[in-house]
Structure 1
């Protein structure tokens, strides 16, 4: 009934799970998906029709090795590999794992590589593996196959453990990933691989750089007309180093940056990032007594492209880590505010018993975090940077000022509800009276919230309006991936148990009268004189 009324379409494989990696390809008209032991190619118009699949299991010897090792590592079906205390339980994917079930190939990464191929990586039964997938150039070509001669080591690209997250972006045939590069999930790194430039990573086992991070998303954003200024931004949450001792572990949300043309240092930080900086992302609500309620558990990030490629809007969703107050929030950040934080003061700590302060001394030139380019001076490569720049960068990765959200508070929040936000996708809609951003938010109970931000009094002050809440997965399995097609007006969601497709709007559901249609305040819909229907710009109403 739900399927008929809401246009919901579902897809799942008999013997698979965990549809975590989604790649939307408008040109080929396909939704590519990575799941347990499988790669899928589905029709964007209807995911329940004309599917193609590649069976991609881990080789038998890897599975046996994993099962054999698992007898020592995995104490019980639900335990975490290694020391269970190292991983907060709520970071685990909701797949019902058995000791043997982890010893499969869970596809975690799926990117367009070039005009003809995709690049896919999976856990490979705790033996990370990557492959090139031939996908054809056009919608008419039914090609979909693994290239058997181009199977690669996936270390530093995919996690070992299916319950760990990985975040990555593929730009110009280079893969930038945030991932644990060891079996126990203790050596976390931001890593560049593939491509012609040298492989580069973050400093190893230095908690000032990364401290038990959980990577959420990675994006490439140009900074100027010069591609040498391009930056890669990493979104993650980690245990905060700057909290006072004795207060226990606190999770902070972070944004990290690196330059695409970073080649590492010449004498120190060899094959390590020399342009890595990070800042705290704040999403908080001021309380009546002046105390703020912080949403620190970053869950997902969506980059909404604007007319200016250099200034996308950053939509992020968070939950609280407090056991007292439970809630989720959406905060928006501008690139201007992000860049300002990275140009601000560095955080500095004199020694173990000192407080973190804003660094007041002389900052060496060229300023750490700047890319070597014609825009900012005479350095052709990070290898030419003076030693003092490299040393300063190594000891001061953290910025003192956090990045605050647009209008200083969350755009939308839900508290005291029996669910947590897990994923977000945003569509910018042209309606009869202007542009609206429509938010589609996935939850950990298999629902999608549709929220529009509407002007309150003026276009400068926006307020959220919850248009509807749809139960997408009947088994209430958490939404682990979300992709949106503005062109086809469809939303695609993945969970542990399947994939779903639903239209972004169902204007006819808003009744048969003009008033009902307009009062629904759905920017996708308008009254055409006889029915409530999809609003198309440039047509007479």
Structure 2
């Protein structure tokens, strides 16, 4: 396809996206916290080593209370309670001769010819299995970590190294996907130096090493492995299977479509021993199915085809976990990411469905309608489903059919038929996901933590929507956990300690799963936040404990409706009032910032001497901003009381009253003269604004409330745009025109204001 044809397709693709997503806009988080706010108020902790990058492998060890980290030339052991303290590090560089050989092969000796530790697994009670690239010489080692909690150990014997081929990638740019079951390592990896022979490989343990059929595009076609999980099939361990998640070039795509990437889930049996006469030392139970994450549309589905990460959320029944997966899109038209949820029953159903079949190079892929041999390909040799005790006993027709038909015809669709949560045009891409199941007052909820390529973590909650199993994702928080906006490469959760550990190329970060005090100091704010970790206890928003028998703990995660729960609450703060002054034909800014970015602000106006309150409507003199209301070309009749009300989830709450006084030019002139006369004032805070207030309200100016801002303090603030500046005829402009160039120091003004009460929204 030439450039002209591709360009001609762009409008059509845009229409498909519009049909599928409608007028989709980026979801706003309820709270957005910068790195500086997290560091100052919420205890984000970071760990990094000097002259070291690429913190990619994370392993949470709850028993030892340690977080093990794999990075460039190092393995580190950190405290789960505080990764910045009691850190132990172990240097593990590649031998000099390996680095030189790597450099001779044309690789960069400073960025590629290092030992990048790609995987860490708990091997037994005293050792970890660690594998790295070894300067394009994949290598593994057993790291002794001991079993005493009070004395963390980290020791590696460089004389006892293992060959890492088939375990770790050669290239540091490739991801490693593996799982250690017992003493057997199952890996999805490139098994050659050139990165062309991708394979699913079993190594270590007592069973023979097995791999996929090499250089057969029907099995694997330039795959990018993402995650590997061991999931029991039944009570019989002979039925256990290993599931691989990856993306690859689709062999079933029509030639006219060109190169197309699809996401896959693959399966193999743990007790697979390979074939007897065919597929010797190869998998005989390997099958794969397409993993679909798309938005249905009138003109066609919008596909998120690039699988980025998968998280397995276990439940009491280990055989039916939920799979949370994040996807991006390869489209050149729109930027978007999505979260789709899959049930293991749907995955198994796809592997029990029809096989995909193609007769010849000119035929399309269709559902296989012929006879399927017995035992059905993909079944594990087990007493549960048959009489075969080993894959070596499978008949030849079973082996040949499995070799020629690894692809299933039916795809695996997400729960509910569409993504749980998506972002379009947000300026970032989802890269990682972790999930935590939380007990709340009205049930259990899954909280998702989604990493992005700009160093942020999104906190999303899955709540029921209509009839089951439909759910929707609500974006609660957006956290900038890395100051340098580095791509998040790995995430792990400690549910026991309520901590999230995040890795990037530049550092490792630790943040709490909840920040209840940030949600507000009123019952309504706490309920509207819909955070299952938090509840209103009668006086504050605090950590919710399911076992606590306290009747006044209020929480509504499903609906987020405080109208009933908080109807009798009297703990909300007094309504703030602020006096605002302006000059005729000038400008005035009425500041009002809700704590929640999802709240809508409404304004009402009450003119002095009138009874009725009127709604402030849009007009050309008025501009609504994220931080308040800007009035231009002021008139005397604009004087009055402006009430700022935040509306969220149908619940409205007044934030503050702003009393606007519009002065004439004569009054502004008098103010300027008064300030000039007060120039040789004694040292100390100069109360210049009191003279100004005396013009409006003699004897009553200078109260503490007169300068309070209608914005949440303390706590997070939305990231606003630049504040609108007053016009040339404002009070400040008049004062400058008269030659006033004195400026009160910020600390003096704060000293005069006294303690500032917090606005609670």
The answer to whether the superposition gives a TM-score over 0.5 is: yes
For the 8 Å contact 1:236–1:254, the answer to whether it is kept is yes
Query: Which residue of 61, 65, 68 maps to 1:29?
Result: 65
Partner of 1:386: 395
Query: Which residue of 110, 123, 127 maps to 2:120?
Result: 110
Partner of 1:484: 493
Within 5 Å, which residues of 2 pair with 1:448-527?
448-457=457-466, 460-527=469-536
**Larger Cα-atom Rg:** 2
SS in 2 for 1:337: helix
For the 8 Å contact 2:415–2:469, the answer to whether it is kept is no
Q: How far apart, CA to CA, are the structure 1 residues paired with 2:408 and 2:464?
A: 34
Q: How far apart, CA to CA, are the structure 1 residues paired with 2:85 and 2:291?
A: 42
Per the TM alignment, residue 321 of structure 1 is displaced from its structure 2 partner at its CA by: 0.9
What RMSD, in angstroms, separates the aligned Cα atoms of the two structures?
1.0
Tell whether 2:71 aligns with 1:61.
no
Query: Which residue of 267, 271, 276 maps to 2:281?
Result: 271
Q: How far apart, CA to CA, are the structure 2 residues paired with 1:190 and 1:69?
A: 26
For the 8 Å contact 1:190–1:201, the answer to whether it is kept is yes
> Counting helix residues as a fraction of each chain, which structure ranks higher?
2
Q: How far apart, CA to CA, are the structure 1 residues paired with 2:467 and 2:232?
A: 31
Query: Which residue of 158, 168, 185 maps to 1:175?
Result: 185
Partner of 2:256: 246
Partner of 1:184: 194
Partner of 2:74: 38
For the 8 Å contact 1:129–1:155, the answer to whether it is kept is yes
Please list the CA deviations of residues 285-304 of structure 1 after superposition, one character each: whole Å capped at 9, or x if unmatched: 012x2310000100000000
Query: Which residue of 26, 37, 55 maps to 1:19?
Result: 55
Partner of 1:77: none
Q: How far apart, CA to CA, are the structure 1 residues paired with 2:399 and 2:537?
A: 63
Per the TM alignment, residue 165 of structure 1 is displaced from its structure 2 partner at its CA by: 1.2
Query: Which residue of 375, 379, 386 maps to 1:370?
Result: 379
Per the TM alignment, residue 248 of structure 1 is displaced from its structure 2 partner at its CA by: 1.4
SS in 1 for 2:422: strand
For the 8 Å contact 1:27–1:138, the answer to whether it is kept is no
For the 8 Å contact 2:415–2:470, the answer to whether it is kept is no
Within 5 Å, which residues of 2 pair with 1:316-465?
316-457=325-466, 460-465=469-474
Partner of 2:221: 211
TM-score normalized with structure 2 length: 0.67
Tell whether 2:7 aligns with 1:7.
no
Q: How far apart, CA to CA, are the structure 2 residues paired with 1:269 and 1:322?
A: 38
Quick one: structure 1 residues 271 and 460, their matched pair in 2 at CA, closer, same or farther if it must change by over 3 Å?
A: closer
For the 8 Å contact 1:19–1:33, the answer to whether it is kept is yes
For the 8 Å contact 2:335–2:427, the answer to whether it is kept is no
Please list the CA deviations of residues 119-169 of structure 1 after superposition, one character each: whole Å capped at 9, or x if unmatched: 000000000000001011132232211133431110011000000112000
For the 8 Å contact 2:447–2:460, the answer to whether it is kept is yes
For the 8 Å contact 1:297–1:321, the answer to whether it is kept is yes
For the 8 Å contact 2:388–2:394, the answer to whether it is kept is yes
Partner of 1:86: none
For the 8 Å contact 2:445–2:532, the answer to whether it is kept is yes
Per the TM alignment, residue 462 of structure 1 is displaced from its structure 2 partner at its CA by: 1.8
Per the TM alignment, residue 505 of structure 1 is displaced from its structure 2 partner at its CA by: 0.2
Within 5 Å, which residues of 2 pair with 1:75-94?
none
Long gaps (5+) in structure 1? 75-97
Q: How far apart, CA to CA, are the structure 1 residues paired with 2:102 and 2:464?
A: 55
Tell whether 2:182 aligns with 1:146.
no
Q: How far apart, CA to CA, are the structure 1 residues paired with 2:176 and 2:74?
A: 18
TM-score normalized with structure 1 length: 0.94
Q: How far apart, CA to CA, are the structure 1 residues paired with 2:113 and 2:159?
A: 23
Q: How far apart, CA to CA, are the structure 1 residues paired with 2:406 and 2:463?
A: 38
**For this pair of structures, how many residues does the alignment match?**
514
Within 5 Å, which residues of 2 pair with 1:264-303?
264-287=274-297, 289-303=298-312
Long gaps (5+) in structure 2? 1-35, 554-761
SS in 2 for 1:374: coil
Q: How far apart, CA to CA, are the structure 1 residues paired with 2:366 and 2:470?
A: 34
Per the TM alignment, residue 455 of structure 1 is displaced from its structure 2 partner at its CA by: 2.5
Per the TM alignment, residue 456 of structure 1 is displaced from its structure 2 partner at its CA by: 3.0
Per the TM alignment, residue 307 of structure 1 is displaced from its structure 2 partner at its CA by: 1.0
Partner of 2:247: 237
Partner of 1:315: 324
Q: How far apart, CA to CA, are the structure 1 residues paired with 2:267 and 2:467?
A: 34
Per the TM alignment, residue 247 of structure 1 is displaced from its structure 2 partner at its CA by: 2.0
SS in 2 for 1:351: coil
For the 8 Å contact 1:67–1:100, the answer to whether it is kept is no
Q: How far apart, CA to CA, are the structure 2 residues paired with 1:147 and 1:326?
A: 47
Query: Which residue of 544, 552, 555 maps to 1:535?
Result: 544
